[in-house]
Homo-oligomer: A and B are copies of this chain.
Amino acid sequence: MAHKPVPEILTRQIVATSRLLRIEAVDLRFSNGVERQFERMASSGRGAVMIVPFIDDETLMLVREYAAGLHNYQLGFPKGLIDPGETPEEAANRELKEEIGFGAKQLIPLKSVTMAPQFFAATMHIFIARDLYPESLPGDEPEPLEQVPWLLSKADALLEQEDFTEARSIAALLMTLRELNK
Chain A residues in the interface with B (C-beta under 8 A)? 3-4, 6-7, 9, 15-21, 23, 25-26, 28, 30-32, 34-41, 43, 64-74, 111-124, 142-143, 146, 159, 165-168, 170-171, 174-175, 178
Contact = CB atoms under 8 A, between A and B. Distances in A.
Contact of A17 (B4, B9, B16, B74): B16
13 contacts: A4-B143, A16-B17, A18-B25, A19-B37, A28-B142, A30-B142, A30-B143, A31-B143, A41-B69, A65-B118, A69-B119, A170-B175, A174-B178
Contacts of A37: 19
A39 B66 contact: no
Nearest to A20: B39
A18 B23 CA distance: 7
Question: Main SS of the interface on chain A?
Answer: mixed
Copies assembled = 2
Contacts of A35: 142
B116 A69 contact: yes
A112 to B, nearest CB: 7
Contacts of A170: 111, 113, 167, 171, 174-175
Given A111-B159, A167-B168, 9 more contacts: A7-B142, A16-B21, A18-B25, A21-B23, A68-B118, A68-B119, A69-B122, A115-B167, A159-B175
